[in-house]
Amino acid sequence: MNTDRQLCIGFSLSATWMKGHSWRAPDSGVEKLESIDYYIHLAKLAEKAKLDFLFRADYLYVSPQMLGDSANFGSPDPTVMFAAIACATERIGLVTTVSTTFNPPYVAARQLQSLHWLSNGRAGWNIVTSIEGAENFGNSPMPSPQVRYAKAKEFTHVMQKLWASFPHEAILVDRESGKFSDPDQVASIDHSGEFFRVKGPLTLPAHKSGAIPLFQAGASDIGRDFASSVADAIFAAMPDLESGIELRSDLRRRAEQHGRHPSTMKVLPGLYFFLADTREEAQALFELANAHFSIARRHAALKSVMGLDLSGFELNDRVTAAMLPDPNQPVRSRTHADLLRRYIANYEPTVAEVLARPEVLGSAHWVSVGTVEDVLNDIIQRFDAGAIDGFIALPGGSEQSMALFFEKLVPQLVERGLFRSEYTGSTLREHLGI
Ligand SMILES: Cc1cc2nc3c(=O)[nH]c(=O)nc-3n(C[C@H](O)[C@H](O)[C@H](O)COP(=O)(O)O)c2cc1C
C-alpha cells in the first residue's frame, strides 16, 4: 500500500445525491436545497472531516434536463455562494468555477481575489471553457475548441498579471510617514492580446497567502496541454482505472515538458459514490438515481455525446470500432467522446453496456457502488495504481449515503494513513501542499 502520499479530497456542493428519482424518496430532504443554510451545513461537515476543499461546477444556461423531473432550485453563481460559505467556515478551501469563454477577465480576477480576501486565502479557480451557453452572450455561435482554449490561455495569463499588478507588499500602513500604500509597487499591465485589452491594475491587493490555486476541467489533447502548463489540480472525468492511469501519466509527462515538476499537479477525478450498509441497498440507490433514464433517453444521450445512433440495434448486439462515427466531427466535449470511443474500440461492448456507461448516464465520472469497504478498496486500488492523487466526492443516492462517507469512509482513510486527521494549514495552498 502507498504510504508516503496522502490523498487530496474535495467535496462537490452540487446536489448529485438528488439525481434521477432519488429526490422523490419521502426522506430525501430535497426541500432543504432551497436555502443556503443547507449548503453551509454541508460545508461544515466537510470541514469537520478536514477535507481539502469544497467545489462547485457551473453552467451559464438552463438545460432542458434541469427542468421537469429533476430536482433543481436553479444554479446560483458559485462564487457568490462561496462568499456566504466563507463567512461560516474557517479552514476548508473554496473552489469556484468561472468560464473563460463568457466572462471579462478583469471582473473574474476581481471576484476571485475578493473571495480569496474574504475567506482568508482559501479561494481556488476551476477554469472551464464551457460546452454551451453562447446564446446568452450575444449572437455568435459557440467558438471552436481551438479558439476556446486559445482564449482560456490568454484569459488565465491576464488573470495572473492582474493579481500580480497590486502586490500585497504594496500595502505599508506606516502611520509615522503617513504612507498607507506604495504607488510604485502598483502597476498597470497594459495587456493587448488576440482576445483581450486590459490596462490594469486590479482594484484590490493580492492576499498575503499567495497566488490563487488553479484547477482545470477538460481533457482533450489541447485541454491536457493547457492543464499541464498551468493547473495545480485537474478535475478529471475518469470512468475506469485504465483511462485514469493513461490520463495521469500523460498529464505528468506533459507537465515535465512544460518545465514543471509533475508532483506539483494533482489529478482529481469526480468520484460518484453510492454507499449503504449492504451492496444490495447501494445498488438500489444507484438504480433510483438512474431510473429516469429510459432506453430512448439513453440513446438520445449517446447521440449527443458522440454522434452515434444505436437505436436501430438490439440491446445485446456488439458495438465495434468500425461503427464509430468520424472522429473529427464536432462534439460537445472531446473528453467525453474520446473516452467512449476508446472503451468501444478496446472492449467491443454490447449496446446495453454502452448505454449504461458513465459517459452516457452522466459526466463520465468514476462510479463506485457498495459498502464502505467496497468503495474504500476502489479508492485504494486507483491510488496505488497511480491513476489518482485524490478525488472530488460527488455523493450519490441519498443523504444517508453522504453520511456514510463522512462518518465511516473518511475516518477509514485517516486510519490507514491515507488522509489527514487535522489541518496543518489554513489556506488552500497549504492544504494542496503548494
Ligand atoms: C470533468 C469535467 C468537468 C467540467 N465542468 C464544467 C463546468 O462546471 N462548467 C462548464 O462550463 N464546463 C465544464 N466542463 C467543460 C470543459 O470546460 C470543456 O469546455 C469541455 O470539456 C470541452 O473541452 P475538451 O474538448 O477538452 O473536453 C467540464 C469538463 C469536464 C471533462
Any atom of ligand 1 within 6 Å of the Cβ of 101? no
CA dihedral over 241, 244, 245, 246, signed as positive or negative: positive
Any atom of ligand 1 within 6 Å of the Cβ of 239? no
Q: How far apart are CA 234 and CA 266, in angstroms?
A: 6
Q: What is the pLDDT of residue 63?
A: 84
How close is the Cα of 101 to the center of ligand 1, in Å?
11
How close is the Cα of 129 to the center of ligand 1, in Å?
6
Q: What is the pLDDT of residue 1?
A: 46
Is residue 270 within 8 Å of residue 394, measured between CB atoms? yes
Instruction: Please report, as a single letter, which amino acid is at residue 209.
Output: S
How close is the Cα of 367 to the center of ligand 1, in Å?
18
- Ligand 1 pocket test target in 96, 214, 238, 333 with most atoms within 8 Å of CB: 333
- Ligand 1 pocket test target in 14, 58, 82, 128 with most atoms within 8 Å of CB: 128
Helix H or strand E segment including 45: helix 36-48
In the structure grid, which three cell numbers stand for residue 84, read together? 456566504
Q: In ligand 1, which atom is closest to the CA atom of 223? A: 26
How close is the Cα of 88 to the center of ligand 1, in Å?
29
| Nearest residue (CA) to ligand 1, atom 12 | 130
Return the closest-CA partner of residue 156 out of 93, 92, 101.
Answer: 101
| Nearest residue (CA) to ligand 1, atom 2 | 217
| Nearest residue (CA) to ligand 1, atom 17 | 128
| Nearest residue (CA) to ligand 1, atom 10 | 130
Which residues neighbour 409 within 8 Å (Cβ) at sequence distance 6 or greater?
Answer: 273, 275, 372, 375, 376
Q: In ligand 1, which atom is closest to the CA atom of 222? A: 26
Is residue 397 within 8 Å of residue 25, measured between CB atoms? no
Q: How far apart are CA 257 and CA 163, in angstroms?
A: 26
**ipTM associated with this complex:** 0.98
| Nearest residue (CA) to ligand 1, atom 16 | 218
Domains with residue ranges and CATH for the chain: 8-282+366-432 (3.20.20.30)
Cα–Cα distances (Å) from 47 to 54, 90, 113, in that order, read 9, 8, 22
Return the closest-CA partner of residue 376 out of 340, 409, 416.
Answer: 409
Q: In ligand 1, which atom is closest to the CA atom of 364? A: 1
How close is the Cα of 280 to the center of ligand 1, in Å?
33
Give, in degrees to the nearest 5, the angle at Cα 13 between 10 and 17: 105
Q: What is the pLDDT of residue 330?
A: 81
How close is the Cα of 216 to the center of ligand 1, in Å?
8
Low-confidence ranges of the chain (pLDDT < 70): 1-3
Q: 357-375 pLDDT, tens per residue? A: 999 998 899 999 999 999 9
Any atom of ligand 1 within 6 Å of the Cβ of 370? no
Any atom of ligand 1 within 6 Å of the Cβ of 127? no
Return the closest-CA partner of residue 216 out of 104, 142, 129.
Answer: 129
Q: What is the pLDDT of residue 332?
A: 80
Q: What is the pLDDT of residue 3?
A: 53
How close is the Cα of 252 to the center of ligand 1, in Å?
20
3-state SS, residue 344: helix
Strands 197-198 and 191-192 come out as antiparallel
How close is the Cα of 127 to the center of ligand 1, in Å?
9
Q: How many Cβ atoms sit within 10 Å of the Cβ of residue 346?
A: 12
